[in-house]
């Protein structure tokens, strides 16, 4: 499918074949999300299939425009949360590396209200640089002192309509989040969830869910508190790859993350898992979403006419099924905005034909990415080496260490690491995100350019280069999770409820329910977990989607294996911590689902932590639950509603 196709895409597991109507044809042990989806998108009338060639021709104009829109001459005046101007060169985040096994840093979170009423958020070092990349080796100690410098918004500034759409609360969430005021002087037991509260989640790391490490249920830091210490060791067996950090205050996560509060964390040593990467320059790219800078602008003249712009239940531009039109959010690349409607590209310079490792984090609050690299509009091969911080050959055996694909789907919260080859001299190149079909109830994530890539002999090397010399990673202590029979099967499902059933755009409450339990939004402060597991066990979780939009399932403290996709076996030979669950289109005979092999064998998983949709508006709106992992020497956890013990330990 070309970038100009009128067929929107959804995410399929790596290597799963589908026919033209989205019907699964089978599976293979390979690596990337295939195009098409479970049934055709519901709104496609404006661009019939016969118009595909015309749409492709129009998109050539769109791509041409991306190279030729002049950047704004004026940059934002220097502030704590300053941003580069559209059309700027892509800066690299500052690298902070561990020394002698320790990484110590002081970090503050700040916010700044903009003239349009929107709020920026940023993590700031004492020297003023933002969102540093934290680099540690397995076994290293992280000592991070976080200061909450958030301030109240100015009431005199009225929020622009677009600003109101970000981080808004859904029915009931405001009351729930404000029910627990701060406990003075005790961030570990505060539980406060307010617009000025903050904490940190280290997304993807298997570190204990306890205070000063990775607890997000009770830990809450207020303005005026002393700097709060996060202190933990990177596990010796943590897979080498890309992780990230961001705030996780329920009810307010979307506002802070969409405002820019996020940064990358790298566990060093990926060249030890994959010798093909030794000596490669590496580039960290953090893609964030934000409110539209030009919300009232008409679409670019280079785009085809699309149906009248629709608003979804979250107040964002709704999916129109065409691949064009106003997006729900603008995107930025290392804070360089690429705003609707003309998408002036950020700029990256590379030496001609140079191979680099690109480490891409989708730190968006709601936006799905479908990345491709084009040379003169022709998709290029990208060598995927890691997903969600885990090398793709982690299972051992004959699994390839590199999978070559021409586009890569990345859900909100997901990460992908891949080898790119720079363009030859004089050949125009673009990094783009192709359209994603998020379902009838989802946001509009259209085709758009992100960065132009220019070949230049004098291009500076990225600031980090992988070591050329390396020792192979030690063999894992535990068998591959895919070869371990699960002790039980649990069933959960995503669902949504309109406040006004007669108004499809009314406010929505979001649920993530264990089958057999009563649907209810997440209740902060509750000590009753939704699921109880015994450490040392492996379980299968079947996650259904009973709503008409994509959801991204994420669980803290561990990774999982994707076993099947709506009943089609895939048995991926690598691990994820975030996965898309396809949407229900209203005509299917059963709800779409994924089956996940959940790994609770690591002792660091003991404790109570959360699982949720990583579209943060949905998580803020209640689409979250808790799991308590009890120590292995405790009595076995009783089967709860929605579980099926497996006799003799054999899989269903």
Token digits for 258?
Answer: 């969409």
Superfamily of domain 481-649: Cupredoxins -  blue copper proteins (2.60.40.420)
Q: How many residues in total does the chain contain? A: 652
Q: Do domains 17-70+279-286+297-465 and 481-649 have the same CATH topology?
A: yes
CA-to-CA separations, 232 to 212, 243, 557, 606, in angstroms, rounded:
8, 15, 13, 15
Kindly report which listed range (88-92, 185-189, 431-435) carries the lowest average pLDDT score: 185-189
Q: 408 pLDDT band (50/70/90 cuts)? A: very high
Q: 53 pLDDT band (50/70/90 cuts)? A: very low
Kindly report which listed range (278-292, 320-334, 392-406) carries the lowest average pLDDT score: 320-334
pLDDT at residue 314, rounded to an integer = 59
Domain 17-70+279-286+297-465 has CATH 2.60.40.420: yes
Kindly report which listed range (291-300, 323-332, 642-651) carries the lowest average pLDDT score: 642-651
The reported pTM is: 0.86
Strand order in the sheet with 133-136: 95-97, 133-136, 263-267, 241-246, 201-203
pLDDT at residue 526, rounded to an integer = 86
Token digits for 652?
Answer: 């269903």
Q: In the CATH scheme, what is the code of domain 95-268?
A: 2.60.40.420
Rounded CA-CA distance 642/517 in Å is 8
Tell me what the pLDDT averaged over the chain comes to: 84
Query: Could you give the dihedral angle defined by the CA atoms of residues 133, 382, 15 and 446, in that order, rounded to the nearest 10 degrees?
Result: 80
Rounded CA-CA distance 448/340 in Å is 9
Sorted by where each begins, the domain ranges of the chain are 17-70+279-286+297-465, 95-268, 481-649
In this predicted structure, the answer to whether residue 504 has a pLDDT above a threshold of 80 is no
Q: For residue range 564-579, what is the model confidence (pLDDT) as tens digits?
A: 998 899 999 999 999 9
């Amino acid at each position: 499918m070309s970038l100009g196709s009128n067929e929107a895409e959804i995410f399929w597991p790596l290597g799963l074949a589908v026919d033209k109507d989205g019907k699964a044809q089978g599976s293979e042990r390979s690596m990337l999300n295939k195009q098409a989806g479970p049934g055709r998108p519901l709104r496609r009338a404006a661009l019939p299939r016969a118009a595909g060639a015309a749409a492709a021709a129009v998109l050539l104009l769109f791509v041409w425009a991306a190279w030729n829109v002049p950047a704004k001459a004026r940059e934002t005046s220097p502030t704590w949360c300053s941003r580069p101007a559209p059309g700027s060169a892509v800066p690299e985040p500052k690298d902070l590396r561990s020394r002698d096994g320790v990484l110590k840093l002081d970090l503050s979170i700040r916010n700044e209200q903009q003239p349009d009423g929107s709020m920026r958020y940023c993590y700031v070092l004492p020297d003023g640089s933002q969102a540093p990349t934290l680099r540690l080796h397995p076994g290293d100690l992280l000592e991070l002192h976080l200061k909450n410098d958030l301030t109240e918004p100015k009431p005199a500034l009225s929020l622009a309509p677009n600003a109101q759409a970000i981080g808004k609360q859904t029915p009931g969430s405001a009351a729930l989040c404000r029910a627990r005021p701060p406990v003075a002087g005790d961030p570990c037991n505060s539980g406060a969830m307010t617009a000025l509260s903050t904490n940190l989640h280290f997304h993807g790391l298997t570190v204990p869910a306890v205070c000063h490490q990775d607890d997000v249920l009770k830990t809450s830091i207020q303005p005026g508190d002393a700097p709060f210490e996060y202190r933990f060791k990177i596990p010796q067996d943590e897979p080498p790859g890309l992780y990230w950090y961001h705030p996780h205050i329920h009810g307010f996560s979307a506002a802070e993350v969409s405002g820019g509060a996020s940064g990358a964390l790298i566990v060093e040593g990926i060249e030890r898992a994959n010798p093909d990467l030794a000596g490669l320059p590496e580039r960290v790219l953090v893609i964030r979403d934000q409110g539209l800078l030009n919300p009232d602008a008409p679409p670019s003249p280079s785009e085809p006419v699309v149906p009248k712009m629709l608003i979804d239940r979250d107040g964002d531009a709704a999916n129109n099924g065409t691949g064009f039109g106003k997006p729900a959010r603008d995107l930025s690349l290392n804070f360089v905005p690429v705003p609707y409607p003309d998408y002036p590209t950020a700029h990256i310079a590379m030496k001609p034909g140079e191979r680099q490792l690109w480490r891409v984090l989708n730190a968006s609050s709601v936006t799905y990415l479908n990345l491709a690299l084009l040379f003169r509009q022709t998709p290029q091969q990208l060598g995927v080496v890691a997903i969600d911080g885990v090398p793709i050959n982690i299972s051992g055996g004959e699994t390839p260490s590199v999978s070559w694909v021409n586009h890569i789907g990345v859900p909100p919260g997901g990460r992908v690491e891949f080898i790119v080859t720079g363009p030859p001299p004089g050949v125009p190149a673009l990094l783009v995100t192709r359209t994603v079909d998020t379902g009838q109830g989802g946001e509009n994530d259209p085709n758009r350019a992100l960065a132009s890539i220019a070949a230049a002999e004098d291009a500076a090397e990225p600031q980090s280069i992988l070591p050329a010399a390396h020792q192979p990673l030690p063999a894992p202590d535990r068998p591959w999770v895919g070869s371990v029979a699960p002790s039980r099967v649990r069933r959960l499902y995503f669902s949504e409820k309109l406040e006004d059933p007669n108004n499809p755009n009314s406010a929505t409450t979001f649920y993530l329910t264990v089958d057999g339990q009563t649907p209810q939004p997440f209740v902060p402060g509750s000590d009753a977990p939704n699921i109880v597991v015994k450490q040392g066990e492996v379980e299968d979780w079947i996650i259904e989607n009973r709503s008409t939009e994509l959801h991204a399932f994420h669980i803290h403290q561990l990774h999982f294996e994707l076993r099947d996709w709506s009943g089609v076996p895939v048995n991926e030979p690598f691990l994820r911590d975030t996965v898309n669950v396809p949407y229900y289109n209203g005509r299917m005979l059963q709800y779409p689902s994924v089956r996940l092999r959940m790994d609770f064998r690591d002792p660091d998983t003991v404790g109570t932590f959360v699982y949720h949709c990583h579209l943060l508006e949905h998580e803020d709106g209640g689409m979250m639950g808790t799991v308590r992992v009890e120590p292995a020497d405790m009595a076995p956890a009783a089967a709860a509603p929605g579980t099926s013990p497996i006799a003799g330990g054999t899989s269903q």
